[in-house]
A = this chain, B = another copy of it.
Amino acid sequence: MQNQSSAEHNDPVTITLTDRLFDRLQRAIVEGEIASGSKISEPELARQHGVSRGSLREAIGRLEARKLVERKPNLGARVVTLSYEHLIEIYQIREALEGMAARLAAQHMSDNEIEELQTLLSEHGRQIEEQHGEAYFQKQGDLDFHYRIVQGSKNRHLIGLLCNDLYHLLRMYRYQFGMRSKRSRQAYDEHHYLLNAIISRDPEMAELLMRQHIRSSRRNVEKMLLEN
């Protein structure tokens, strides 16, 4: 699940104005530049970005589809309000969907893809040894690993759901709740078990391990948030 612009696999590289605007707004929201829960004034935002209200409106519509903003008729749009409960909901959905993705990946990934995944993972291992688990790189590494497995499912609908819809919401929580994982070593191990299940072409086991991995990640987050 790496950074990808909204040109998301759009063969014609024509980027429309609304596309760019959508990207910018999404980033601004995810990174908290536009505060969570705050109201969005169409005239103001349109002016700030030098664009007509019509185009802005379309961008907002897409943000709504990704559940980054909520809209009520005649009352306007607000940036979604983050909450502990909602974060848990997202983890439950991830557990179900990524579990299925791992199951499918064990069936459908090519030998070549599996090798690349292996390479990626040993690279992570090296990084962890070297810099004793520098948080940022490891977090990105986690995303890369999950991203490849999701892609490996070969289920385009599932890929879209996880990489387009859920991913950015999750990123928003990471940014704004300051979620740094202090368990990069454990995560790395769990990734390894999962990889072995995929190498063995064992769908059942792959799903099981992925679900455990996400559950333990969730427990980690829960603990971290209850400390604050």
Contact = CB atoms under 8 A, between A and B. Distances in A.
Nearest to A97: B96
A86 B160 CA distance: 13
B155 A73 contact: no
B89 A158 contact: yes
Interface in A28-70: 54, 57-58, 61-62, 64-65, 67
Interface string A172-204: 000000000000000000000000000000000
A160 B161 CA distance: 13
Contact of A93 (B61, B72, B97): B97
A92 B104 contact: yes
A92 B100 CA distance: 8
Looking at chain A, what size class is its interface with the partner chain? 35 or more
A75 B157 contact: no
A93 B86 contact: no
A90 to B, nearest CB: 6
Choose among A67, A73, A75, A156 the residue with the greatest number of B CB atoms under 10 Å from its CB: A73
A4 interface: no
A99 B73 CA distance: 34
Q: What does DSSP make chain A's interface, helix, strand, loop or mixed?
A: helix
A3 interface: no
Contacts of A89: 155-158
Contact of A155 (B65, B92, B100): B92
Choose among A86, A96, A100 the residue with the greatest number of B CB atoms under 10 Å from its CB: A96
Interface stretch (A9-17, A115-123, A133-141, A217-225): A9-17
A228 interface: no
A142 interface: no
Contacts of A74: 12, 14, 16
A113 interface: no
A92 B62 contact: no
